[in-house]
Amino acid sequence: MSSNYSYSHLILFSLLLFFILDFLTVSSCPTHCGGIKITYPFGVGKGCYLEKWYEITCNISTSGKVLVPFLSVINKEVVNISLPSQFQYASYPLSYGSVRIKHPITSKGCSSDGEEHVSLLNLTGTPFYVSNKNTLIAAGCNTTASLINVEQSIVGCKSSCHTSDHTPTKNYLAVVACNSKHGYDDRYCNETSIMNETSCNGNSCCKANMPDMIQQIVGVQIDNTTTTGGCKVAFLTDETYFLSNGSDPQRLHAKRYSTVELGWFIHTTNHSFVNALECYNITEYLSYNGQYSADLLLYYRHISKWLRYLHLYPRRHRFTTIKSCVCDYNAYLSYARCSCNQGFKGNPYGLGGCEDINECKEKLDDGSSHCGNHTCVNFQGYYDCVNKNHQPLAIGIGSSFGSLIFVGGIYLLKKIIRKQRRLNQKKKFFKRNGGLLLQQQLTSTNGKDEKTKVFSSKELEKATENFSSNRILGQGGQGTVYKGMLVDGRIVAVKKSKVVDEDKLEEFINEVVILSQINHRNIVKLLGCCLETNVPVLVYEFVPNGNLFEHLHDEFEDNTMATWKVRLRIAIDIAGALSYLHSSASSPIYHRDVKSTNIMLDEKYRAKVSDFGTSRSVTVDHTHLTTVVSGTVGYMDPEYFQSSQFTDKSDVYSFGVVLVELITGEKSISFLRSQENRTLATYFIMAMKENKLFDIIDGRIRDDCMLNQVTATAKVARKCLNLKGRKRPSMREVSMELENIRLSSGDMQQHEHVSENEEEEEKDKGVVEDIIGVKSGDNVVVTAPAAQYNIVAASSSSLSDVEPLFPLQTR
């Protein structure tokens, strides 16, 4: 029983949290437009309405002086929005909310063109329908009007300009008919006006009621068979018309519109919305307990007045739970109607929902209180009358206060236990993810100016708004990158991986420490990591202008790549960064995934090499790594693909492909090219051999580039793409040669590197084609460029890639 008790309070706490979050959004929404109150689920502005159906736009009126609300889904001016009335009796149906709109009238022979103007109201596919409180009104001599598109009914009326032969019987029956539809409401069924023939009863104006069947398409037309001339109007309205205001068709035509009442209900695919209201389901309410509760409350409400004079006061049945609203909810159709329950008032759909009515502060119709001389005690959904002995009240208050303390104690205890569990879980993750080893490493590098920071999960959750989907920069097969802001104001990129290889955690920690010590302007800085989560989270500096692939292949609408000067500078930046990794870092580091999507551009469009998820450092006495093949099709070194031995020259080959991308503007893999030229490397080498370099230069730079520099750069790329790794230059040599090309403005003497055995290269050419057709069953981890094949969901950043954070490899 205690578990059920605690579970109920957990539900209440969740509901409170839902309404707090809803309040943060709804509280900033306009509540009025043009003097019309806008109530939820309707709203003005994005995020202020439940669904698109209920969007209200605040537009300038035709007079151009004031703002008026329009129901966006049907583009009709709104006159009033009403919520469903209180649910009174179990035998009565739930009421519906209403929206009153302005709708054009149908006219004939009233304008100079003499044409008939027919009005049609089509609400198909929306949660709105024409209320049966509307009435068809027709005015003019010999005017026959009818409703069209009304299913299973024929509705119409005819007005004439002759005196009718009314009799007392006819007058009485007219009153009875009106009362049967509208009840004893003097606004609709004024007996005096009916008896005196001042209502629209067929003389100069006539009226007809809506059919019982709910309609969503209703039109009004005037019978074309009428031969009598003159102005004739007909319209649908929820207002009452008499001879005084409904018999002059010209005046009605000048008004141009009538007010029509639309009923509405909730139509949403968000099932949690209706469930979060915590209302009775109508079938639950009409069950035994619900029926008993409703009838008992009704009984007490009716007899309390006369029992008061006998000094007898019934003690209300104290229900354990009284919900504030009742809903008729069809989960299959996603429809719902909700009303406040007896004893409550307000908006069942809005923040706070229906509020309790304090009957003790309200007066009866005769001005007396509900309990007379006795004490009225208000409860949630009902009230009680007790004599002036306050002992029961004191006992009730004391019990309630004690219960509140008990519940509060349980809640605080659960909160403390939950907090302790989270702390223990964070400690477990920290230890499992190598936190102790990382702390050791940090202690040994404590003398350095910059070192890896170990972030707490709370810091990163705050920086990324709890890893909100609105903060996503990019997504890949193995992780997601979020944009975040640290407490010191720094903007960072937070990479959260999806998988972890626990066998490689020690290697991961070593790599984090090594990469964090890299300090080069053309390399994205690793700021730190978080080890308190299920998988380690990496924190990088944020680079604002996306990646090279996006700019180079027209995914950004700018002219950044329109000059050769910018492209050459980017190539030099990349070469310098890779040269630093291979030669100048404390331990040589092989990137292993150099490609255009991993080249970021900062605010000055300077290149920064990023994504070291597959990078590995080697000791100075080693020349290569033996690993399971991992890389990106189109950029992968064919020699590495065959031997599984990754060297610094493998990075050189990948850089060569990026260099050719800068020259040609082509993608590394393109199925638009022929089979033999599908890879950019093969396509470029063939063009160089056939002396067709000028033909493949990107058209955006071809006319204005320095052809000597482009030719020299192409020869450097040709060297980098040599199928024999030992014949490729080092990244230091490539960086120096590109720098010399940039400094040279005249003719340059280039020492073209020609393969000593062209036939041997032709023989090995098929290796590149084999990489494209590699099968997943061959235990080779190869990926296509993420941005090229839409693997990355948000192309604004390439920091999230498809390679695993801890790929399976062996040294």
pLDDT at 163: 61
Most confidently predicted of 366-370, 486-490, 764-768: 486-490
**Per DSSP, what are the bridge partners of residue 203?**
160
User: What beta strand segments (E) does 335-416 contain?
Assistant: 335-340, 344-346, 354-356, 375-379, 382-386
Please, what is the Cα angle at 796 between 792 and 799, to 5 degrees? 65
Residue 779 has pLDDT above 50, yes or no: no
The predicted pLDDT at position 71 comes to 95
**750-777: average pLDDT:** 46
Q: Over the stretch 126-151, which tens digit does the pLDDT of each residue have?
A: 999 999 899 999 988 888 899 988 87
- 413 pLDDT above the threshold of 60: yes
* Cα distances (Å, whole numbers) of residue 91 to 283, 285, 286, 300, 346: 12, 11, 9, 17, 22
Q: Pairing mode, if any, of strands 325-330 and 280-281?
A: parallel
Query: What percent of the chain lies above the pLDDT cut of 70?
Result: 69
CA distance 477 to 539: 19
The band of 394, judged by pLDDT with boundaries at 50, 70 and 90, is confident
Residue 759 has a pLDDT of 42
Nearest to 472 by CA among 455, 495, 490, 488: 495
249-263, 300-314, 324-338, 421-435: least confidently modelled range: 300-314
Is the peptide bond prior to 41 cis by the omega test (within 30 degrees of 0)? yes
303 — pLDDT class (breaks 50, 70, 90): very low
Span 554-561, average pLDDT: 73
Cβ atoms of 214 and 167 closer than 8 Å: no
∠ CA 212-215-216, nearest 5°, is: 165
The stretch 97-126 carries a mean pLDDT of 86
* Listed ranges 110-119, 190-199, 364-373, 675-684; the one with the highest mean pLDDT: 675-684
Q: Residue 353's pLDDT is what?
A: 86
| Tokens read off for 393 | 């009240």
Residues designated as active site: 593
On average, the pLDDT of the chain sits at 77
Q: What is the pLDDT of residues 423-438, one digit of tens each?
A: 777 676 666 665 655 6
* 770, 607 Cβ separation under 8 angstroms: no
Give the model confidence (pLDDT) of 49-71 as tens digits.
999 999 999 998 777 778 899 99
Q: How confident is the model at residue 172 (pLDDT cuts 50, 70, 90)?
A: confident
pLDDT at 651: 92
Q: What is the pLDDT of residues 505-532, one digit of tens each?
A: 666 666 677 677 788 899 988 888 887 7
Q: Are 715 and 752 in contact (CB under 8 A)?
A: yes
Instruction: Give the CA angle between residues 573, 577, 583 to the nearest 5°.
Output: 140
* Angstrom distances, CA of residue 493 to CA of 497, 520, 611, 648, 797: 13, 18, 11, 28, 10
**pTM above threshold 0.75:** no
Residues 6+ apart with CB under 8 A from 785: 549, 595, 596, 597, 632, 633, 634, 635, 667, 668, 669
Amino acid at 557: E
pLDDT of residue 719: 95
pLDDT at 801: 34
- Of the candidates 146, 244, 237, the one whose C-alpha atom is nearest the C-alpha of residue 200 is 244
> Tokens for 245?
């205001």
Count the helices and strands in the chain (H runs, E runs): 23, 38
pLDDT in tens, 692-724: 999 999 888 888 888 999 999 999 999 999 999
Residue 343 pLDDT: 87
Where do the DSSP E strands lie in 512-648?
526-530, 537-541, 589-590, 599-601, 607-609, 616-617, 625-626, 630-632, 645-646
**Model confidence over 32-48: pLDDT tens digits?**
998 899 999 999 998 89
The predicted-structure confidence for 236-251, as pLDDT tens digits, reads as follows: 999 888 766 667 888 8
What domains are there in the chain, each with its CATH number? 97-264 (no CATH), 271-388 (no CATH), 543-783 (1.10.510.10)
Closest among 258, 302, 303 to 104, alpha carbons compared: 258
What pLDDT is recorded for position 727? 93
**Considering only 413-422, 505-514, 738-747, 756-765, which range has the smallest mean pLDDT?**
756-765
Of 370 and 91, the one with more pLDDT: 370
Confidence (pLDDT) at 9: 56
- pLDDT tens, 631-643? 788 899 898 888 8
391 — pLDDT class (breaks 50, 70, 90): low
* Average pLDDT of the residues in 532-543: 83
